[in-house]
Amino acid sequence: MAEWIRDRDTYFMLGGPHLAPYPVSAEDIIGKYFRENGGCAEADNFYPMTATENGEPVGQLIVRYTGGDRRKLRFGWVVVDGRKRGRGYGREMLGLGLVFAFEVMGASLVTIGVFEENMRAYNCYVSAGFRANPDAQVKTETVDGKEQKIIELVITREEYNRRKT
């Protein structure tokens, strides 16, 4: 994953400062993942997942519970190898993540956030079945010295099931 965060734009659109200082190393990511998993209020709350094709990593995301509710999951740190973007890997990876969330973990809903400026990611998330969450509070974050609005997206179990048929 660290190899895929090659420039500051990718770093910031991924929410990099929450991950590690730039430039990000593999050790930074591993350390963050272990701290998140080990430091959670509830054990077994942080699931990094890697998408592969022919045994080669092409993307990754994390899945975690939110607010102590084991029916609500959140996806984050979604990134695809920059050399493979635009080929549908992100949408497919999110689709498999939704199978895991709803069919394995028994979630009732899954959320994901995206910076308003990151339209490529937003369109990918929408194509995977997410929609803008009308109940979400407007949040902003300072990213590389600029205020960025965060768009909260959601997909419910019912919406997921409708898409399957």
> Which residue matches tokens 């890697």?
50
Whole-angstrom Cα distance, residue 18 to residue 11?
Answer: 10
Find the length of the chain.
Answer: 165
The pLDDT of residue 17 is 85
Whole-angstrom Cα distance, residue 156 to residue 76?
Answer: 17
**97 is in which domain, residue-wise?**
2-164
The pLDDT of residue 36 is 67
The CATH code of the domain that includes 125 is 3.40.630.30
- In a structure prediction context, what are the per-residue pLDDT tens digits for the chain, which is 165 residues long? 999 998 998 999 888 888 888 999 999 988 888 776 665 545 567 888 999 999 999 999 999 988 778 899 999 999 999 999 999 999 999 999 999 999 999 999 999 999 999 999 999 999 999 999 999 999 999 888 889 999 999 999 999 999 987
Q: Are 90 and 75 in contact (CB under 8 A)?
A: no
Whole-angstrom Cα distance, residue 22 to residue 85?
Answer: 21
The pLDDT of residue 44 is 66
The pLDDT of residue 41 is 47
User: What's the structural domain count of the chain?
Assistant: 1
pTM of the model: 0.90
The pLDDT of residue 157 is 98
